[in-house]
Amino acid sequence: MAQRLRISEIFLSLQGESTSVGLPTVFVRLTGCPLRCRYCDTEYAFRGGENIPLPDLLEQVATFQVRHVTVTGGEPLAQPACLDLLRLLCEAGYSVSLETSGALDTTGVDARVIKVLDLKTPGSGEVERNLYRNLERLGPGDQVKFVICDRTDYEWACRQVAQYRLSERSEVLFSPAWGQQEPALLAQWILQDRLAVRFQLQLHKILWGDAPGR
């Protein structure tokens, strides 16, 4: 019997974040997450979903006829078969990215996958869940993201960037928490401190608000 993954949704949208922002992308959202971040906007993916065999998943992705695929959640690595899905997508020739909280071990992730590691800030309520050894596996094509809720989060994130020399390992993304951190103020802090990070807004929310599946 083929391996299965519990899937919350599969949809086509513009990539709203990361260095591939704006590109048409198929999103494969896996069900389930061991974290409960205060600013989470995908709580509907914590439960439910449909068990789908991996071959069927690949067929569904192929119907959208785009090159970029993002595997997200929830927390996709909470399902072990996610590693096989990532590998199969790479073998099929897609440009594959993985959006992960960084709380689960990324050792088994295919080297061809772009890891977008969301290092949890104090404002998330889950800062103690960060698995810092994942930072050692970041490469130049990977990205580490900080969702900034306030000035305390910003200063904490700056310390992590310096301590782990993150700008030398990969792309670093600073994103204002939607509805919590004023974007222009965060941009001002970055400019004042001459940080070697990429400021980003969530394009999909600017376009479509909080609508699920976008």
The 50-53 sheet, strands edge to edge: 50-53, 4-14, 24-30, 68-72, 95-100, 114-118, 143-148, 171-176, 198-199
| HSE, side-chain direction, 13 A CA sphere, residue 136 | 5
Say what the pTM is. 0.93
- Contact in structure between 129 and 35 (CB atoms under 8 Å): yes
What is the predicted pLDDT for the residue at 213? 57
* Domains assigned to the chain: 4-208 (3.20.20.70)
Three-state DSSP at 52 gives strand
What is the predicted pLDDT for the residue at 204? 82
**Banded model confidence at residue 11, pLDDT cuts 50, 70, 90:** very high
Mean pLDDT of the chain: 95
Low-confidence winner among 113-117, 125-129, 201-205, 210-214 (lowest mean pLDDT): 210-214
Three-state DSSP at 144 gives strand
Q: How far lies 7's CA from each of 10, 65, 168, in Å?
A: 8, 20, 35
- For residue 210, pLDDT over 80 is answered with no
CA distance linking residue 154 with residue 30, whole number of Å: 29
**Banded model confidence at residue 212, pLDDT cuts 50, 70, 90:** low
- Residue 205's nearest CA partner among 167, 171, 175, 168 is 175
**Tens digit of each residue's pLDDT (9 = 90 or more) over 166-186:** 999 999 999 999 999 999 999
CA distance linking residue 193 with residue 207, whole number of Å: 30
Q: How many CB atoms lie within 10 A of CB 24?
A: 14
